Amino acid sequence: MTPKATLRFLHTADWHLGKKLNRFSRLEEQKAVLAELTKIADQYEVDGMLVAGDVFDSRNPSAEAKGLLTASLLALSKGGERPVLVIAGNHDSPELFEALASWGAPLGILLLGDLTQDLHALQGSFGKGFTLEVLEKGLIALSGSSWPFRCQFLLSPYMSPIRREGKEVASFWQDCWAAALQKASPEEPLVLLAHPYVRYDTADGSEELEEDLEERVLGGQEALSLGAFPEGLAYAALGHIHYPKPLRHEPYPVAYAGSLLQYSFGDRCIEKKALLVEVPRAGAAQVSFLPEGKGLNGGLPLLSFEVTSPEEAQEKCQTHPQAYLELVWAAPQAPSPELRRHLESLHPRLVHFLLKRISFSGGAPDAEVLAQMDQLDWLPLFEAFYEARKGHKPDETIKSIFKEVLNRALAKKSSQDYADTQ
Ligand SMILES: [Mn+2]
């Protein structure tokens, strides 16, 4: 048998275990898609897993979500034969990662919650037949009898502004990466795992997903530019954005793996993927999205329909029972208050029954719509929306940010800027 020329990894991210769609648990679907991911890892005989953050949806995940994480990591690591490297994202608890780290190491699972987490205790024997060496904060090297060569990993978990001690994102990471690179061997490949917000070009027609906008706003993330990434890497495996997306190919590929499932209706047309990464002994990695020609078998479909009558709404409920359903009421007259309850009794997963939003696409809004907007009391509407989404009321900081954005939007409207922006 000829020795393998490359190390092969499967890159995934943004599992968001425990995330609900409105009130509906997605845990069974998450379980199914993680089983599929394990199958893909087996089928392609990957040498290791790269999990780039946001494995949980919450810093205080449920027992079921934690159980699914540990079971999935164990299956992916084949009990220690296939190393699994996991960094924390902005949704994860660094403390929980640190607590799980000593559990994972003998099983070939490395969890890094925070850059200051001391990995030295895990140094030495790792998993079954691997050796882990800590070279610098966040920089490790792994070797094993089944691997053709040693590989270095620059593990860069999400660091909150407090953990960055107020340092701005780009300069924080550039300093960390520069320090780590001094200790890295130029003779061995280096793979980066990180969870930043990198603004990407949507010129190819892909829109920013609702989830990603939320990650941008609520992650407290300033954007990192592609130019901030260090030179000389083989690959940068990113998490955070739910859209599977290669950001560039040269001089080495940088890519978001995307989320595990479609987590919002805005996300419903996006096929979910994992990335197969072939790391050579020297030079840049080759990457491709898996499964080929289709998405991961990600649970039930999310369907959204505009309806203009109770009969039409009822018909949509009855013809799509095996889906999550969003119905958007687009008739000029308001629906009767009983209609929602009736539709919920007809469909087990009616997620939203909404009134059609005022749309500004396709031309300036007419005077009547603008007059209606002036009469709205926005803050209570925002508070109710925020509470419905987050489960708690917005604090004063969030409210003041909202007021500032609102004031800017209203100022823009009154100055009739719309005509210029079309
Ligand atoms: Mn994130």
Average pLDDT on 1-27 reads 92
Measure 222 CA to ligand 1 centroid, in angstroms. Answer: 13
pLDDT at 289 over 80: yes
Measure 72 CA to ligand 1 centroid, in angstroms. Answer: 20
Q: pLDDT value at position 139?
A: 97
Measure 215 CA to ligand 1 centroid, in angstroms. Answer: 6
> Which residues, other chains included, contact 184 with Cβ-Cβ below 8 Å and sequence gap of 6+?
135, 136, 139, 152, 154, 190
Cis (ω within 30 of 0) for the bond into 291? yes
CA torsion sign, 61 to 65 to 71 to 73?
Answer: negative
> Which residues, other chains included, contact 171 with Cβ-Cβ below 8 Å and sequence gap of 6+?
none
pLDDT at 360 over 70: no
What ranges in 184-309 are assigned the alpha helix state H? 210-218
Measure 122 CA to ligand 1 centroid, in angstroms. Answer: 26
Q: Is 21 helix (H, G, I), strand (E, B) or coil?
A: strand
- Least confident window among 14-28, 248-262, 327-341: 327-341
Measure 240 CA to ligand 1 centroid, in angstroms. Answer: 4
Measure 103 CA to ligand 1 centroid, in angstroms. Answer: 24
Phi-psi region of 258 (alpha: psi -120 to 50; beta: other; left: phi over 0): left
Distance, in Å, from the CA atom of 110 to the CA atom of 67, rounded to the nearest integer, reads 17
Q: Which of 327, 328, 331 is nearest to 308 (CA)?
A: 331
* Better pLDDT: 381 or 240: 240
Q: Which one-letter amino acid corresponds to residue 204? A: D
The pLDDT > 70 percentage for the chain reads: 87
Q: pLDDT value at position 246?
A: 94
Distance, in Å, from the CA atom of 180 to the CA atom of 139, rounded to the nearest integer, reads 6
Q: pLDDT value at position 420?
A: 42
Q: Which helix (H) or strand (E) holds 135?
A: strand 130-136
pLDDT in tens, 214-242: 666 655 557 889 999 999 999 999 999 99
pLDDT at 371 over 70: no
Measure 221 CA to ligand 1 centroid, in angstroms. Answer: 9
Contact indicator for 243, 270 with CB cutoff of 8 Å: yes
DSSP letters of 136-184?
ETTEEEEEETTSSS-EEEEEE----TTTTTT--HHHHHHHHHHHHHHHS
Distance, in Å, from the CA atom of 274 to the CA atom of 272, rounded to the nearest integer, reads 7
Extents of the domains making up the chain: 6-290, 302-357, 360-422
Q: pLDDT value at position 205?
A: 53
- For 6-290, give the CATH class: alpha beta
What's the Rg (C-alpha) of the chain?
23
Measure 147 CA to ligand 1 centroid, in angstroms. Answer: 31
Measure 308 CA to ligand 1 centroid, in angstroms. Answer: 37
- What string of H, E and C letters represents the secondary structure of 220-250? CCCCCCHHHCCCCCCEEEECCCCCCEEEECC
Q: pLDDT value at position 364?
A: 58
Measure 210 CA to ligand 1 centroid, in angstroms. Answer: 13
Q: 92 to each of 23, 60, 87, 284, 330, how far by Cα in Å? A: 21, 8, 9, 30, 39
pLDDT band at 83 (very low <50, low <70, confident <90, very high): very high
pLDDT in tens, 68-82: 999 999 999 999 999
- By CB atoms closer than 10 A (0-12, 13-18, 19+), residue 285 is buried
Q: pLDDT value at position 121?
A: 93
Q: pLDDT value at position 334?
A: 79
Measure 194 CA to ligand 1 centroid, in angstroms. Answer: 10
Average pLDDT of the chain, as a whole number: 89
pLDDT at 418 over 60: no
> Which residues, other chains included, contact 394 with Cβ-Cβ below 8 Å and sequence gap of 6+?
382, 383, 386, 387, 402
CA torsion sign, 392 to 169 to 187 to 8?
Answer: positive
* Residues facing 303 on adjacent strands: 325
The predicted model scores a pTM of 0.84
Average pLDDT on 374-387 reads 75
pLDDT in tens, 252-285: 999 999 999 999 998 888 999 999 999 999 999 9
Q: pLDDT value at position 331?
A: 85
Q: And the tokens for 329?
A: 């009421």
Burial 128-154 (b: 16+ CB within 10 A, else e): bebebebbebbbbbbbbeebebbbbbb
